[in-house]
C-alpha cells in the first residue's frame, strides 16, 4: 500500500484505471493504526480490482482540507477520478469489506 502526498494525488487518483480507496490518517491516531492492517490485507486481496493508498494529513494537509476531512481515519472512494463515497471512523474487517463492495 502506497503512501501518497498532495503533489501525487492527481496522478494516483485521477489517472487510475481502477477505483481508488484513499485512507486519510495520522501517525498519532490510534483508530488509524487499527485500520491500517485491514487496509493492507484488502489491498492484497483485491489485487487489480482496487487500489488502496494512504495520505498522512499532517504531512499533506491540502488534499484532506479540499475534501472536507474533519476527523480521521477518513476513507474516500474514487472512481474515474471522482469521489463516490466517504466513511469516517474505524470499522471492523467485515464492515470495511461490506462498505468497499457496495462502492465497487
Cα separation, 46 vs 65, in Å, equals 28
Architecture of domain 2-103: 3-Layer(aba) Sandwich (3.40)
Q: Which of helix, strand or coil describes residue 37?
A: helix
Q: How far apart are CA 45 and CA 42, in angstroms?
A: 5
Which candidate in 21, 29, 39, 72 is catalytic? 29
Verify whether residue 29 is a known catalytic residue: yes
Instruction: Give the per-residue pLDDT at 63.
Output: 96
Q: Is 60 a catalytic residue?
A: no
User: pLDDT tens for residues 46-86?
Assistant: 988 999 999 999 999 999 999 999 999 999 999 999 999 99
Instruction: Report the pLDDT value the prediction gives residue 71, as an integer from 0 to 100.
Output: 95
Cell of 21: 480507496
Of the listed 20, 22, 32, 76, which one is catalytic? Answer: 32
Give the C-alpha separation, 69 to 44, whole Å.
26
Give the residue among 99, 101, 93 at the shortest CA–CA distance from 36.
93
Amino acid at each position: 500500500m502506497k503512501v501518497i502526498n498532495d503533489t501525487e494525488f492527481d496522478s494516483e487518483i485521477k489517472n487510475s484505471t481502477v477505483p481508488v480507496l484513499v485512507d486519510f490518517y495520522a501517525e498519532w491516531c490510534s483508530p488509524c493504526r487499527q485500520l491500517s492492517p485491514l487496509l493492507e490485507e484488502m489491498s492484497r486481496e483485491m489485487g487489480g480490482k482496487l487500489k488502496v493508498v494512504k495520505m498522512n494529513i499532517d504531512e499533506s494537509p491540502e488534499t484532506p482540507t479540499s475534501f472536507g476531512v474533519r476527523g480521521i481515519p477518513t476513507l474516500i472512494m474514487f472512481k474515474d477520478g471522482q469521489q463516490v463515497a466517504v466513511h469516517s471512523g474505524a470499522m471492523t474487517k467485515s464492515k470495511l469489506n461490506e462498505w468497499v463492495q457496495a462502492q465497487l
